[in-house]
Structure 1
């Protein structure tokens, strides 16, 4: 891969022509447990609308359990997913548009077991902008993994959430040390 331009300020990092918006696991089973549900849905909806206006790719991730025989031992040791769980719990609370991509995944990193990285490289995407659930699990794992793979990463602090507010806040503090963590309004201002 040829090294692209080096963006030293946030305005360059979030340029629409080389950014993608990642909406991490906004499934019914998770959205129903977060501490800031109304603000979270509103902020994500506004970001998605603006991304569509600017023709920024929007990628929704979706937890997709594997058949038990193929599931990892550590996940099964923690109980896995209940067999009797209603399939509607896996549906996305925020509905994607036809132009959006829904990426089924089985891990807490967008890069493991998917074609995500190839898709982003093929599209010339250098910056991954993250929203979704849970901040301290899949969002932080993917941001760290993305950084290790040479992507710019931005976390929208008021468009991510968790069922555990303390873990969410601790994760944001950790990520602020290494990555761009900004608000929805800051991003929308940069996208004017």
Structure 2
């Protein structure tokens, strides 16, 4: 599979998966939302949402602004710094809007598919507050691969997950260790 795939869902949190879809500056090389249709594609592909909402240009702009606030708030937590007040204010204001309404469908949880996209944004913002404002934040990590900046919530029972994805960064590290060992260089960790 080519890396990165169109959408990455390794964050263990809707808010983190949302934040890791591209962005400003150096993150623009990973941009996966070029239009409202791309954002609708992301929502449909998301294992936490699984429906295709209608997205207006205004909602698309709001999603991109929320994504920036989430990214900088997440980075602040990784770096053990206080999140920016402006970012927190945007996350809180978005979370204050009505969120998605769950329903049972065939014995399974799903979201009301007629929801306004603002409800998706509110659900994402509420998830961020739940992550960063509770003990779950103690399980929030950055990938141990020094060339990767992806973040995730370690939902493993022992709480020792190191890699954004074992299939990607974990495997790259194992291969590098194996090659170094084969060359007789035991300084690779």
Normalising by the smaller structure, the TM-score range is under 0.3
TM-score in terms of structure 1 length:
0.23
Larger radius of gyration between Structure 1 and Structure 2: 2
The one of the two structures with greater contact order (alpha-carbon pairs below 8 A, sep at least 6) is 1
Higher helix residue share: 2
